[in-house]
Amino acid sequence: MSMHAVSWALAQRGPTSSSKHVLVAIAEAASPGDWLASVTTQQLSEATSQDPHTVSTALDQLAAAGLIVQAGGHSETRVWRLPINERSEADAKRFLTLRASAALVGFELLRTDARDGAVRYLGIRWGSTKDLGTDLNVVERFVRVMGGVS
């Protein structure tokens, strides 16, 4: 089990609460480094106390949202990969763009280190700090309201 993978899964916004529970169960089964988890629908059903049909629906939703990627297996046992690094790199680029836009209107954007758990974003102006949470979409809306990002 990788605590980094579990922390990452908990910080994601799942399509539904059921799908987020399945995502966390996959993260618990993922091996550190390659973020691969080989699990059956039945194992996920038992881990989450959800009906197998609900688990299958959640897997489809998670794959459609890009939160899991099928990396192998067959209908019974599938291998899922968590796109932890891919999403982190894309989010890092997006954050830097938002940070530059915020600076143009007098705000400083900061973020916590991912190694400490879920990344949190902060907006600072005139010594006042606003916690913007963990969702980069919220950060973008904040920057837009403050006059940045057209």
Closest listed residue to residue 60, CA positions, set 22, 34, 88 = 22
What global pTM score does this model have? 0.60
Q: Residue written as tokens 């006059």?
A: 147
What SS3 state is found at 3?
A: helix
Region 3-82: CATH code: 1.10.10.10
> What distance lies between CA 55 and its chain's CA centroid?
19
Residues contacting residue 17 through CB under 8 Å, at least 6 positions apart = none
> What pLDDT, on a 0 to 100 scale, did the predictor assign at position 54?
95
> What pLDDT, on a 0 to 100 scale, did the predictor assign at position 47?
94
pLDDT in tens, 36-89: 899 999 999 999 999 999 999 999 999 888 888 888 877 778 889 888 866 666
Mean pLDDT of 100-124: 81
> What pLDDT, on a 0 to 100 scale, did the predictor assign at position 96?
87
Name which residue leads in pLDDT, 13 or 40: 40
- Whether 115 has a pLDDT exceeding 60, the answer reads no
Domain spans of the chain, in order of start: 3-82, 86-145
> What pairing do the DSSP bridges indicate for beta strands 36-40 and 77-81?
antiparallel
Distance CA 47, CA 18 (A): 12
> What pLDDT, on a 0 to 100 scale, did the predictor assign at position 136?
84
Bridge partners of 128, per DSSP, are 125
- Whether 107 has a pLDDT exceeding 80, the answer reads yes
